[in-house]
Structure 1
Amino acid sequence: MIRALHRWPGLLAALLLLVLSLSGAALSVFPAAERLSSPQTPTALSIADLAERIQAVHPQVEQIRRAPSGRITAYWVEGGRPQAAVIDPVTGQGIASADPNRLERWLTNLHRSLFLGDGGRIAAAAGASAMVLLALSGTVLVARRAGGWRRWFMPLRGPLWGRLHVEIARVAVAGLLLSSATGLWMTASTFDLFPDGPAISTMQANPSGRVGLSLAAMDFLRETPAAELRSLSLPAPDDAADVFTVKTDRGTGTLDQGTGALLAWNDLTGWQGVSETIYMLHTGQGAAWIGLVLGLTALGVPAMAVTGFILWLSGWRARPRIRGNVTAGHAETIILVGSEGGSTWGFAATLRAALTNAGQTVHVAAISSFDPARYAKAQRILILAATYGDGDAPASAKGFIDRLRSLPAPPAIPLAVLGFGDRSFPAYCAFARAIAETAEAKGWRMLVPFDSIDRQSAQDFARWGRLLGAAMDIDLELVHQPVPPAVLSLTLVSRRNYGAEVQAPTAILRFALPKVSLWRALAGGGFGRFSAGDLLGVLPAGSAVPRFYSLASGRCDGFIEIVVRKHPAGLCSGQLLELEVGDTINGFLHSNAGFHAGRGRAPLILIGAGTGIGPLAGFVRANARHRPIHLFFGMRHPDSDFLYTEELAAWQREGRLLQLATAFSRGRMPRYVQDALREEAAEIARLVRKGAKIMVCGGRGMAAGVSDALADVLAPIGLSPDLLKAEGRYVEDVY
């Protein structure tokens, strides 16, 4: 029984455990490196002394933070732009950039969520649970093999690999058990499975109304060692009602900026102390040597992972299914693919087949596998790349351009780049074009000039194929037949019409949930599992290219809902708006995990205009836990296109929606959603300080205006949309 408990979790979770252990081991180095590189705070230095030294160098400083490693960072705004620097506490001078380490952030996202959001966190928690079970069952098995607990470290006999497995296990098991148990605690805390601690209230007005008291005259700051500081927020110089907010190892409080009096204080609770201790044990933040020890024990996981077959199988499943794919070292032609939705892989398969028929040996792989050193026999590299969003790289190609720039010299193999996109978007094929421009700037010889494919045009692809064939001195005819997605018939059950008065016909279309097999329901395939923010792909009659619409509903709502506006000469929107109740369309589901509200309890700031209200309404509808949601909704006229007006009022009464701010671009006093944001600047800044996530949906022009407005709103608190994007707290779904 114990062997079974040890064997099956190891077999089933092998790859996941390898990822978690290796990323955890790599992350364990950063706290120690930060500790070694950060000047330590002198014991006799007070918070007042530290703040005065920094203020002398950076008069506009707004916040000072001290990390568990001792690193001190100051934040301020200069010339309208947020600034930050690592500070030497002795001099107050900036000594290094405060920009986050990209590698550390990447590893952290991998370790915490596998880049899969809440689903990835659940998977990581499952891996930690498997590790707990493996550690406990392994401990029992090691004790049995050694002949009892007292003989734990006795020499072993038997085959080398078996002995090595046990030797590593009995050294690493304690660290692995501690790492996995604390990891489970942190995941549970992330999903609010523990009771909330007492509310901390430190927001008070400045009762004296006076300003200008020197830091050295404030008793609390002068008497508290800087080594106990966590953060100090300084009041705005022109705001007499603002206060100092200070967080230390003992608690949090506020100070009158005119008298230095302590206005409020909250001691660190026992529950918070336990949580912080567990965080320290798991991350090594504040105890770097513990992190290094746990990192070393984590390296025991790959050494004990003898499940090579499972690793191979997992790697095989992660690769595209292209038959006859020649290995990279034996191929004459290397085809690298960057695709978001998967359609570009179909073009790569057509190209590979045509080149193979012409006598070429071809290797096809994801663009992320780019490695010129492996291409021993390659005579050319062909890159087929789609563009995601507003000129971004697909998820499978993140960082590729940086890798190109870092090449010491361009490969001698000639290159051809083909972009895939939709010419109606401003950033048409921007990522593929950036690849070509970067390669040319590095001196890479181009086999054929950069070209692009508009809306998956088979004619454009065939034309490019003839150019490529001429450059290769072969006849190359590319006849691409797109593989149609697996669609289901969706029946319209209701529609609500808007926008006729402003010549912008719009409708909320609700379709019945199609029946799915039990297996699909359990596995989440097809329409087995979806959430608001995912995409409904619709194949319009007379076209093989799908159009995508953001879902305003989730599986638990029991229906599929989208919001559609009629576009001039819009084939799909025109057909959808002609539907009557009982009519059907062919549709399929496309995941859009990057635009999910998630299950956290941090406030949500939802911003949308026009049909962009669709997924935002879905987030509010699903908010049964009454997460604080603030919705900013822009429309043309309240009498014509106030979408979801009845539902929004009901959701406010039910507590699903905390605040609704509207903006009407037509009428006596026209304004836009950006204006509403600026009017609520103080509240938005407060919410963002509390960890709020901002989600924007709508047209590109609106999204650009919203970004500019939020840049102005967030600048006083040292933040910006770009910084929030880097933290995953600012996401867009624009069209």
Structure 2
Amino acid sequence: MMRALHRWSGLLAALLLVVLSLSGAALSLFPAAERLTSPQATATLSVANLAARIEALHPQVEQIRRSPSGRITAYWFENGAPQAAIIDPATGQGISAADPNPFERWLINLHRSLFLDDGGRIVMAAGAAAMLVLALSGAGLVARRAGGWRRWFAPLRGPLAGRLHVEIARVAVAGLLLSSATALWMTASTFDLLPDGPTSPAFLNDASGQTGASVAAMDRLKQTPVAELRSLSFPDPGDAADILSLKTDRGTGYLDQGTGAVLAWSDLTGWQRVSETIYMLHTGQGAATLGLVLGFMALGVPAMAGTGLALWLAGRRGRPRIRGNVAAGHAETILLVGSEGGSSWGFAATLHAALSGAGQTVHAAPMSAFDPARYRQARRVLILAATYGDGDAPASAGGFLDRLQTLSVAPSAPLAVLGFGDRGFAAYCAFAQAVTETAAARGWRQLIPFDTVDRQSPQDFARWGRSLGVAIGIDLVLAHQPVPPAALPLMLLSRRDYGADVQAPTAILRFALPEIALWRRLAGHGFGRFRAGDLLGILPQGASVPRFYSLASGRRDGFIEIVVKKHPGGLCSSQLFGLEPGDTVSAFLRRNPGFHPGRGRAPLILIGAGTGIGPLAGFVRANRRQRPIHLFFGMRHPGSDFLYDAELTGWQREGRLRHLATACSRGRMPRYVQDALREEAAEITRLVARGARVMVCGGRDMAAGVSAALTDILAPAGLTPALLKAQGRYVEDVY
């Protein structure tokens, strides 16, 4: 509900909110400019002294006004014509014309009413209400994604547009809440919907009928500092019944023009004080710095509108439309989906359609929307959960485990969890497994045992579906056809072959960058922006599931490069090994932000073996700022499969690679990469103590050996790979 409210409020009011925010941001500059350019009265200057100085120069002065910024303006008649000027309070002389800024007035009319008077004010009030709804719902969604309010600034993952949208919201949401709420208050006040109008004071004494008293001698004016003045209106000297009107930050008073006596005084009401505070907060008048801060936050609205639209469009493309989705409170089956790239939603759509066709009422939603209180008629809860990185929650499952752990009572409807992953990765379905274990610890009854789907296998999914059907008493057939991702043809530029002498055929394949639209390059979509460590997906002929290879290059390198080992019977690797320069292969890009070196100057310890050198070589190639990099590389034989031999030598000479250590597993004295690590234990401990980041890429057995070696190496320093992982300083890309 919250997500839908946020989405549609933003889409429907986007253009209006952009106009509101941009005009408001521009208007926030004027109070600050006025404050900087206006002479300020001294703390000891009284209204009596100021009025006397101005009256001496302009005997026919009618009014003196002081704006919240401190600017003083005087109005008078000269030769029968009205005059106005900005006044220097030190001398009473005019220093510049008081003509209103036409651009500022234009912006004010645009911001308040779109030049449409009262009807426009109502439209802009609707925009402010939409902004308030967006800010409140957005804050709730950010907290949900981060895993709770206490983790408001927790690190984010996922597509660039999504991360930008949330990062901007984290900073701007407080200002948008304040601006929208105060705008609604001011609109209500404009239409007399609030009891905040001024009150007319009752005269306590009649006027004396005298005239000609000097304003410099009036006690009340002498006791009032200019810093509290709002306006002073002078009487008509020809009308003995006329009086002086004094307005200050404290209230409104009326003074006898002949004696200076206070005839009546009215303090500001509570409503008036609240309204004036709200006016100050909204406009920045009297609080220029706050106005600039709110104006800066308002600039986040166009950025969030753009990223929000990009997210919505990407979501529509990536998530299949689930027809007949029943409301959560009326569904027999609750289907929750944890997905990072969107593929799990395809399986969810297939399951939803099959259950609905069997007469079940089904509600599908992301795992981040988990709310057992809404599942009033649920007879079962099904979870389809992918895993991100090293066992983390995917993007649409943020906060799920935290909410599950805080439940006082487990849901009565039984649970079935299905994990999605790739057995080639060490953390295969680790998040789904964690969900199952946490649910069991909370006493949540299982409908069927935990199961997994390997590499989006339709067969695994169908097998799980049969078990689910038996458990709920229906004949459930899940015939899922994965939607192939949009791919582009890549032309092979060159290939270098290794490993034939050691029966491990390996090749470095370099492809040309595909032609993509300019807007995709600017937005960084697909091949418009990528880095070493991201993944190249290739869908081999005759297969329904893509294979992924870590990139050894970035967009700035001007080519796409991967390292491939030929596996006996391997469908994809065999097809890749059959390519010759000029041939093409269909491929797509998938971000892998969990395996990037990150920014900074802290040392990097790169550890890899075999084809695992691919992304590590890409990191070194991109190290133009000469960050200290120490590479440990394992191979079979230097004469056969020393991948990137010439490049590594050149990168050392250029300063991109600080140190290279190799280990060969074939020959008279076989050594593995973990042996090379142990030989340099002291240096590794020193680097880690200096904040080094460890990155491991290669096979699972190699990664396990590296972890064991580093456990022994770092133990004397009180460090472990697990601790470094928790700090984000130990990452793996294993297969």
TM over 0.5: yes
Residues 641-720 of structure 1: matches in 2 within 5 Å?
Answer: 641-720=641-720
Structure 2: state its 5+ residue gaps: 1-18, 29-126, 191-226, 231-247, 251-267
Which of 22, 32, 52 is the matching residue for 1:4?
22
Residues 300-315 of structure 1: matches in 2 within 5 Å?
Answer: none
Q: What is the aligned partner in structure 2 of residue 439 from structure 1?
A: 439
- Residue 322 in 1 paired to residue 321 in 2? yes
- Residue 606 in 1 paired to residue 606 in 2? yes
CA separation of 1:495 and 1:106: change in aligned 2, threshold 3 A: farther
Structure 2 letter corresponding to 1:472: I
Structure 2 letter corresponding to 1:4: L
Structure 2 SS opposite 1:531: coil
Cα drift, residue 464 of structure 1: 2.8
Q: Distance in 2 between matches of 1:441 and 1:25?
A: 25
CA contact (8 A) 1:487 1:588 kept: yes
Q: Distance in 1 between matches of 2:710 and 2:249?
A: 61
Q: What is the aligned partner in structure 2 of residue 479 from structure 1?
A: 479
Q: What is the aligned partner in structure 2 of residue 109 from structure 1?
A: 154
Q: What is the aligned partner in structure 2 of residue 67 from structure 1?
A: none
CA contact (8 A) 1:605 1:630 kept: yes
Residues 606-625 of structure 1: matches in 2 within 5 Å?
Answer: 606-625=606-625
Q: Distance in 2 between matches of 1:165 and 1:688?
A: 54
Q: Distance in 1 between matches of 2:288 and 2:141?
A: 19
Q: What is the aligned partner in structure 1 of residue 235 from structure 2?
A: none
CA separation of 1:551 and 1:725: change in aligned 2, threshold 3 A: same
Q: What is the aligned partner in structure 2 of residue 500 from structure 1?
A: 500
Structure 2 letter corresponding to 1:724: L
Cα drift, residue 336 of structure 1: 0.9
Residues 320-719 of structure 1: matches in 2 within 5 Å?
Answer: 320=319, 322-324=321-323, 325-389=325-389, 391-397=391-397, 400-401=400-401, 403-423=403-423, 428-719=428-719
Structure 2 SS opposite 1:527: helix
Structure 2 letter corresponding to 1:534: D
Q: Distance in 2 between matches of 1:172 and 1:365?
A: 47
Cα drift, residue 710 of structure 1: 2.0
CA separation of 1:129 and 1:354: change in aligned 2, threshold 3 A: closer
CA separation of 1:387 and 1:437: change in aligned 2, threshold 3 A: same
Structure 2 SS opposite 1:618: helix
CA separation of 1:309 and 1:565: change in aligned 2, threshold 3 A: closer
Q: Distance in 2 between matches of 1:646 and 1:549?
A: 22
CA separation of 1:730 and 1:311: change in aligned 2, threshold 3 A: closer
Cα drift, residue 654 of structure 1: 1.1
CA contact (8 A) 1:336 1:381 kept: yes
Cα drift, residue 564 of structure 1: 0.5
Cα drift, residue 306 of structure 1: 14
Structure 1 SS opposite 2:722: helix
Structure 2 letter corresponding to 1:461: F
CA contact (8 A) 1:129 1:180 kept: no
TM-score under structure 1 length normalisation: 0.62
Deviations 1:641-673 (A, max 9, x none): 110000111111111111111111222222221
Q: Distance in 1 between matches of 2:397 and 2:580?
A: 42
Cα drift, residue 170 of structure 1: 5.3
Cα drift, residue 333 of structure 1: 1.4
Structure 2 letter corresponding to 1:6: G
Structure 1 letter corresponding to 2:462: A
TM-score under structure 2 length normalisation: 0.62
CA separation of 1:379 and 1:627: change in aligned 2, threshold 3 A: same
Structure 2 letter corresponding to 1:380: R
CA separation of 1:433 and 1:725: change in aligned 2, threshold 3 A: closer
CA contact (8 A) 1:415 1:445 kept: yes
Residues 183-222 of structure 1: matches in 2 within 5 Å?
Answer: none
Residues 22-41 of structure 1: matches in 2 within 5 Å?
Answer: none
Deviations 1:393-444 (A, max 9, x none): 4354466445434432221112222222344556544443443344344432
CA separation of 1:6 and 1:716: change in aligned 2, threshold 3 A: farther
Structure 1 SS opposite 2:663: strand
Deviations 1:202-230 (A, max 9, x none): xxxxxxxxxxxxxxxxxxxxxxxxxxxxx
Q: Distance in 1 between matches of 2:634 and 2:643?
A: 10
Cα drift, residue 375 of structure 1: 1.3
Cα drift, residue 674 of structure 1: 1.5
Number of equivalences: 534
Q: What is the aligned partner in structure 1 of residue 733 from structure 2?
A: 733
CA separation of 1:393 and 1:704: change in aligned 2, threshold 3 A: farther
CA separation of 1:572 and 1:25: change in aligned 2, threshold 3 A: closer
CA contact (8 A) 2:663 2:673 kept: yes
CA contact (8 A) 2:492 2:583 kept: yes
Residues 69-84 of structure 1: matches in 2 within 5 Å?
Answer: none
Q: Distance in 2 between matches of 1:165 and 1:358?
A: 60
Q: What is the aligned partner in structure 2 of residue 195 from structure 1?
A: none
Structure 2 SS opposite 1:695: strand
Structure 1 SS opposite 2:626: coil
CA contact (8 A) 1:109 1:115 kept: no
CA contact (8 A) 1:520 1:528 kept: yes
Deviations 1:505-537 (A, max 9, x none): 000000111000112111111211111000000
CA separation of 1:377 and 1:732: change in aligned 2, threshold 3 A: same
CA contact (8 A) 2:381 2:415 kept: yes
CA separation of 1:327 and 1:517: change in aligned 2, threshold 3 A: same
CA contact (8 A) 2:635 2:642 kept: yes
CA separation of 1:370 and 1:3: change in aligned 2, threshold 3 A: closer
CA contact (8 A) 1:530 1:555 kept: yes
Q: Distance in 1 between matches of 2:410 and 2:555?
A: 49
CA contact (8 A) 1:337 1:344 kept: yes
Residues 204-353 of structure 1: matches in 2 within 5 Å?
Answer: 320=319, 322-324=321-323, 325-353=325-353
Structure 2 letter corresponding to 1:355: L
Q: Distance in 2 between matches of 1:520 and 1:305?
A: 22
Structure 2 SS opposite 1:639: helix
Deviations 1:687-719 (A, max 9, x none): 223222221111111112222222233333333
Identity, % of aligned pairs? 63
Deviations 1:16-69 (A, max 9, x none): 99899999999xxxxxxxxxxxxxxxxxxxxxxxxxxxxxxxxxxxxxxxxxxx
Structure 1: state its 5+ residue gaps: 27-100, 185-297
CA contact (8 A) 1:5 1:134 kept: no
Q: Distance in 2 between matches of 1:306 and 1:134?
A: 12
- Bigger CA radius of gyration: 2
Q: Distance in 1 between matches of 2:142 and 2:418?
A: 38
Deviations 1:557-579 (A, max 9, x none): 11110000112322111211121
CA contact (8 A) 1:626 1:657 kept: yes
CA contact (8 A) 1:131 1:177 kept: no
CA contact (8 A) 2:635 2:663 kept: yes
Deviations 1:488-515 (A, max 9, x none): 1111110000111111100000011100
Cα drift, residue 543 of structure 1: 0.2
CA contact (8 A) 2:534 2:593 kept: yes
CA contact (8 A) 1:694 1:730 kept: yes
